[in-house]
Each structure stands twice: as structure tokens, then as C-alpha cells.
Structure 1
Amino acid sequence: MDTKKHALITGATSGIGYELAKLLAKEGYNLVLVARNEENLRQTAAEMEQFSSSIHTHIIPVDLFEKDAAQKVYDKTTELGITVNVLVNDAGQGEWGRFIKTELQREIDIVQLNIISLISLTKFYLREMVERNEGKILQLASSVSKAPSPYLSVYAATKAFVLSFTEALSEELKDTNVSITALQPGATDTDFFHKAKAENTVTYKETDLYSAEEVAQAGYDALMSGTTIISPGFMNKTQKVMNTIMPDSAIAANMHRQMESSMKEEGRENSSHPASQRERNSINSKKEGVNGDY
């Protein structure tokens, strides 16, 4: 392993991004960690260097909700003379709720983060990878990439974009030594549901969520092998097959049931109730500063 190789990971301080950073560190990649909170980045960088004494880390505190953020990331790596051999576009958020009731600016911000920043970083680093004829990119798509999702309509649409974008680029790159991979995880036990205000959904309350570790491992393996699409987990794969058979209207109806609130009684969303173990774990993680920025 050439220890001069660098991997750049967005959303690197929590969840799937954090676990992917760990895997890359253990394989000897120097890391460029990108997130909003500088303190969390410094803590994550210190942790990553404990996994391998042969690597070094760079941190770039930047808010990828901002229009010029991706350019700032690219300019910084250029200034440092860093060649990015692996790009992981992990940062992403969603917003739960009926579209007519959610805030427009919040959803515009989600499009900026999930699509515009991802496109921009891909453009900047893919050009260099093709010129070198070497490199790998991992894009965080989702199991909802091909599932119209009421209550998560904008998020699901952004992930549909990510999947289509990745598949198209994979075809463009087929005559090169550069690969691009879309990771389509099912519902995963990260801070996503809390930031999306989706803690009361049927999916979050009643589904066995995948762990960030198992999703990251599947994504890492696919990234290294150059696989175009990876859907971790048996149930996730099964649902993906079903989605290719079912009409979109049936998929949307199924997702409606999964994403509606499990709090059936009027006003229960705001009532006090005992926290589940999953919720307690999330609260504890936040207090410890483990959950990160995207």
C-alpha cells in the first residue's frame, strides 16, 4: 500500500462516513476529513491516526450547504499539493414531512448538499483521476433511490439523482482505470433520522436498522473492487428486486406506510414517552460529540 495515497471523505465525523474513514485509515490511506465542526474534525482525525501510525490526516472545516464550499475544499487540497486517489461523497441530509408543510429553504439547502456539492466535488477530482488514469469514487445513494418516498420526497429525489448520475459516469469511465460506485444502504442506525425529524416514523421505530459499520464495509469492498452499485443486506436486496417488479404507484404507497408517523393519536408526537434504547443511544452519542455534521 502506497502510504502517500489520500482519501477525501465528506461527512467524516459520524455514521457511515466515519466508518469508511476508519476502514481507509486501516488500509494505510492518508485522510482528508471534511465536515462543518472543526472540533469534531480534530477529534476524528486523532482517532483515525490511532488506527494506523503510518498515516497522517488533514481536516477541512467547511459547510457543504454553502454554494462555494466544494470549490473551497478543492482549492485547499490543491494548495496542500494533495492528490486525491479516493473520493467519498458521504455528506447528506433529509427532511421528513408533507411537502406542503416543510420549509422551502431547508429543502433547497438539501439539494445544495446532496446534489450540487456532490456534483462539484466529483467534477473537480474526477478530471484529475481521468488525467492520471487512476482513482476511485464512492457516492452515497440510498435504498430510496428508486423508490418514490412520501414524507421524504425531496431527499429521495436527490438520491435518485445520485444513482442515475453515478450509473451514467460509470459508463463514461468504462475505458479507464477510474471507477465510481453508488452505495445504496437501507435504513441505517445513524443520526440521519434525528436530523430529518423522522424519529417517529414506522421505519425508525419498528425496523431493524442496519449498522453503520456493516454498510461501510459493504461500500468499501465495492469501492475497492470497482463495482458500480452495491445494496448491502439481504432485506435491502430483496426490496430492491421487488421495486423493479412493482409499479411506482405501489412503491410510493408502500413507502407512505413506512414513512408515516407511528404516533397515531393526535398530539402524541409532542407527548412525553419513554425513550427507546435506540433513542437513548443517539442522545448519548450526541452528548459525547460522536455524531457529526451531516
Structure 2
Amino acid sequence: MKFYEGCTALITGASSGLGAEFARQLAPVARGLVLVARREDRLEALREELLELQPSLQVEIYGADLAVEEQRTRLAGWLGERAIGIDFLINNAGLGDHGHFDSSDWGRVRAMIDVNIGALTHLTHLLLPSMLRSGRAAILNVSSVASFFPLPNMAVYSATKAYVTSLTEALAIELRPKGITVTALCPGPVPTEFFDVARRGEDATAHYETMGPVVVTPAVAVRTGLDAVARDRARVVPGLLLAVSVGVALVVPFFVTREILRLFSKKL
């Protein structure tokens, strides 16, 4: 974790799941953390936990609905007013939806696009100029293994994550010569609140049980992502079995993959 010593990191979606785990793992080495999410009560509880772990840590919290463009702009302005320089941006906030597209709720779909694509892109655009001036900085975009495949029953989610991975790869090439490391963390199933929200009235626990050995813990997923950033990797898939499986699947002709996805979709 030497790479992160003295950093100031901004973490979106920090109130639970991977976002909170990023904060816990960075707390012992970071100089400051800015925790952003809608649920300020959870952010307050996390701040207290982190300060017990590391009393000298500077922890700021900011409540915002990142689906709203004006709130993202206000966040950037607030950082400027407080002279908080961010040298590690973790775009973790994300929404999902599980089910057939024709029965989806448009408000939910729109929010997913606004957060997964809009917020990530806009915050990166807002904060990148100051990060470039710092001379050395990093961006970690939380994508998904779903970004590699058009997943039935998660059509819009996988499409938004395909955007995230593609954008990350392009920015990694653009920004590496300028001293900015850009990495996409592409986890498979991780036991967080994600599926509690994404699944339409179904049991999220049962979903994880069907995934078996490809499930990794939040701690492993976050540690893998942080290691990848420190090594200047453009993307990483946590879990050896899943990483190998994805690598094999990506070299298979797509007409074969399409048939596999059709069979897989019948089980979901």
C-alpha cells in the first residue's frame, strides 16, 4: 500500500459495499478521504469507524445524488472552496437492474444510465484538470465482468459497464504519459447490497449461492483493484477462476458465446 501513502481519495458510493471497503483499506495509509453518497447517516457512521482506526485521518463526507448533474457540479465546487486536492478518484457508485428489459421501470433504467455512465464521466471530467496539475494521480473506475458480455436480463447494466471499461481503457492510454493511472476493476458477483437493489423482489442471497466459486468477498475485490492501480494496470478481474474464465470466453467466437448466453439466461 506504499503507493497510496499520503493520498487524498474521493470515493463515490461510499456508504456501503465496495465503497466502504475502499475507505477501510485506504484509511491506514491515506492522508484524507472524501466520502460521497446519498445516505449521509451511513457516511457519518463510516467516518466514526475510520477515525477510530486512524485518528489522524482527515475524513470529509458529502451527501449527494450523483444521478443529478447539478449536484455533481456542486460537489466539485465544494472541493474547490475547501481547497481539497484529489489525487485518487474512485468512481464506485453504480446501480443495477435484473429482469427483462420490456418489463423494466424507465425511471430505474434512466437512473442507472445517469449514475453508471453520467456521474462517472462527469466527475472524471470535473476533477481531472486539478489531478493533472498534481503531476501524479490515479483513477479507479468500478466496472464489472458484465462489461465484457451483453447479458440477458441485465441488458442495460451490462451495456453501461461496457462503456465504463471502454472509457477506462481509452483514458489509460491518453493519460499514462501525463502521469495519471487509470484502471477498471471488473468484479463478478460480490456479496454486497447490489443485488438486494437490482433484483426485482427476489432473494439476492440465492443468486450468490448459484455463482459458487466465482464469488469473491468485498475485501478481495477491493484489494485486487488497489493492487492493479499501484501496478498501473488498465483493467483487472478479481478472482483467479473468474479471470481465467473471462480470458477464455473472450477468445471464443461470438456466435458460440451468444448461444451460451441464451442457455444461461433461461436459468436466471
TM-score by length of 2: 0.91
Residue 210 (structure 1) aligns with? 216
1:67-96 Cα deviation digits (max 9, x unpaired): 322212111111111000110000001111
Say how many residue pairs are matched: 262
Instruction: Kindly indicate which of the two structures has a greater share of residues assigned to helix.
Output: 2
Gaps of 5+ in 2: none
Q: CA deviation at 1:28?
A: 2.7
- TM-score, with normalisation over the residues of structure 1? 0.83
Aligned twin of 2:127 = 125
Following superposition, the deviation at residue 225 of structure 1 comes to 2.3
Mapped partners of 1:58, 1:258: distance in 2: 43
Taking only aligned residues, the RMSD between alpha carbons, in angstroms, comes to 2.0
What do the CA deviations read for 1:1-39 (whole angstroms, capped 9, x no partner)? 797631100011211111111111111331100000111
Question: Which residue number in structure 1 is paired with residue 181 of structure 2?
Answer: 179
Task: Give the equivalent residue in structure 2 for 1:79.
Answer: 81
Deviation at 1:254, TM superposition (A): 3.2
Moved more, 234-243 or 84-93: 234-243
1:19 matched to which residue of 2? 21
Name the residue aligned to 1:233: 239
Counterpart for residue 284 of structure 1: none
Q: Partner letter of residue 174 of structure 1?
A: R
Q: Kindly report which structure 2 residues correspond to 1:69-218, keeping only aligned pairs within 5 A, or say none.
A: 69-197=71-199, 199=202, 203-208=207-212, 209-218=215-224
Decide whether the 8 Å contact of 2:67 with 2:118 is kept in 1.
no
The answer (yes or no) to whether the contact 2:69–2:119 under 8 Å persists in 1 is yes
Partner of 1:226: helix, strand, or coil? coil
Distance in 2, matches of 1:4 and 1:216, equals: 19
User: Deviation string for 1:164-185 (max 9, x for gaps)?
Assistant: 0000001101212111110011
Q: How does 1:261-272 map to 2 (within 5 A)?
A: none
CA distance change for structure 1 residues 228 and 214 in 2, over 3 Å: closer, same or farther? same
Q: Which moved more, 1:151-160 or 1:221-230?
A: 221-230
Greater relative contact order (CA < 8 Å, ≥ 6 in sequence): 1
Q: Match for 1:144: what amino acid?
A: A
- Any gaps of 5 or more consecutive residues in structure 1? 263-294
For the 8 Å contact 1:13–1:41, the answer to whether it is kept is: yes
1:20-39 to 2 correspondences below 5 Å: 20-39=22-41
Give the Cα separation in 2 of the matches to 1:251 and 1:140. 24
Shift of the alpha carbon at 1:133? Answer: 1.9
Structure 1 residue 258 displacement after superposition: 4.3
Contact 2:87–2:134 (Cα < 8 Å) also in 1: no
